[in-house]
């Protein structure tokens, strides 16, 4: 009963994110890629709708998991930029989404079906994009899914995927009683990029923005990067504009290149990242 109650509380992980489809004149947004759709079927017959941003010249793939109640298209600008950079992005519509035709806001259902969605999506990507390096990424609740795929261990036990080359956690989860403990990220050895902001507060879940540091602070050292954006709130990945959005794109693309492709120059840029309004740490 304790675990069930805790899982139900996962609904606090993110407020719904409205689609962000407007584009600025930023150079990193010059190439706009619209998503296509694909439907997968789980072993028990449940349909999983995918949004796919296909890279014109593919160099790798990213599995992306949206925030609780949100939808992949809310992150259109960022995911389109990754695709234009050479990384096809594949993002399931999870059952907790307000856009899902059979929506369930139950935390336990959301957690278990998300893990099923993403495992099936990774299996499909391994077949349809054979040989391409894979990065996992997500926002808020979705970042927990990506951290699990990268090796984090929750109450559900280890569910890491050895194919994962690195994890991008946008507004990563802090401690969640029973589910996410100080030990959860001790097994996360994959390269990690955590992005949060000093206004990244979710009342009742992350009352202090520093809670989002937990994966960075407690995972084994080595290839771990934390970026804190001055003024950045919980919906920053979907709502960032101007120079802050440009920095988000460039930092995440350097991470993709460094750890999916082994690009040493990209890693050097990420290691040296510095800009007004950013605090960057490495472990």
Rounded distance between C-alpha atoms, residue 158 and residue 256, angstroms? 24
pLDDT of 211 above 80: yes
CA distances from 72 to 28, 94, 237, 280 (A): 19, 9, 12, 27
Separation CA 122–CA 67 (nearest Å):
18
The pLDDT value given to residue 154: 87
> Which of these ranges, 20-34, 61-75, 186-200, has the smallest mean pLDDT?
20-34
Q: Identify the pLDDT of residue 264.
A: 98
What pLDDT score does 25 carry?
37
pLDDT band at residue 64 using 50, 70 and 90 as cut-offs: very high
Q: Can you tell me the distance from the alpha carbon of 238 to that of 38, in angstroms, rounded to the nearest whole number?
A: 23
Each residue of 227-275: pLDDT tens digit?
Answer: 999 999 999 999 999 999 999 999 999 999 999 999 999 999 999 999 9
pTM of the model: 0.91
Residue 136 has pLDDT above 70, yes or no: yes
Per-residue pLDDT at 216 exceeds 50: yes
Segment 23-26 long-range contacts (CB within 8 Å, at least 24 positions apart):
23/77, 24/241, 24/242, 24/245, 26/242, 26/245, 26/246
Instruction: Measure the CA–CA gap between 105 and 78, rounded to whole angstroms.
Output: 26
pLDDT beyond 90 at 13:
no
Among the residue ranges 14-18, 149-153, 190-194, the one predicted with the least confidence is 14-18
For residues 4-18, average pLDDT: 46
CB atoms within 10 A of CB 30: 10
Question: Please, what is the average pLDDT of the chain?
Answer: 88
Q: Are 168 and 255 in contact (CB under 8 A)?
A: yes
Q: What is the reported pLDDT for 30?
A: 62
DSSP 67: P
């Amino acid at each position: 009963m304790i675990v069930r109650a805790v899982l139900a509380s996962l609904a606090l992980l993110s407020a719904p994110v409205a689609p962000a489809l407007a584009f600025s004149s930023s150079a990193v947004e010059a190439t706009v890629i619209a998503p296509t759709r694909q439907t997968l079927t789980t072993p028990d017959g449940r349909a999983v709708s995918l949004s796919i941003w296909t890279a014109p010249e593919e160099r790798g793939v990213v599995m992306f998991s949206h925030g609780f109640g949100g939808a992949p298209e809310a992150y259109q600008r960022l995911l389109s930029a990754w695709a234009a950079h050479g990384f096809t992005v594949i993002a399931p519509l999870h059952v907790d989404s307000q856009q899902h035709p059979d929506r369930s806001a139950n935390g336990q259902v959301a957690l278990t079906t998300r893990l099923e969605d993403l495992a099936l999506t990774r299996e499909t990507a391994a077949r349809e994009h054979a040989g391409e390096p894979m990065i996992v990424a997500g926002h808020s609740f979705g970042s927990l899914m990506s951290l699990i795929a990268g090796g984090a261990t929750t109450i559900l036990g280890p569910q890491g995927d050895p194919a994962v080359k690195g994890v991008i956690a946008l507004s990563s989860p802090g401690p969640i009683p029973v589910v996410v403990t100080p030990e959860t990220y001790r097994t996360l050895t994959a390269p990690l990029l955590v992005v949060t902001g000093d206004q990244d507060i979710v009342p009742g879940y992350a009352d202090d923005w520093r809670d989002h540091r937990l994966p960075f602070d407690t995972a084994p050292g080595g290839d771990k990067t934390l970026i804190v954006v001055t003024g950045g709130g919980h919906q920053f990945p979907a709502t960032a504009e101007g120079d802050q959005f440009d920095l988000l794109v460039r930092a995440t693309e350097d991470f993709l290149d460094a750890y999916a492709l082994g690009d040493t120059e990209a890693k050097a840029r990420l290691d040296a990242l510095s800009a007004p309004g950013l605090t960057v740490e490495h472990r």
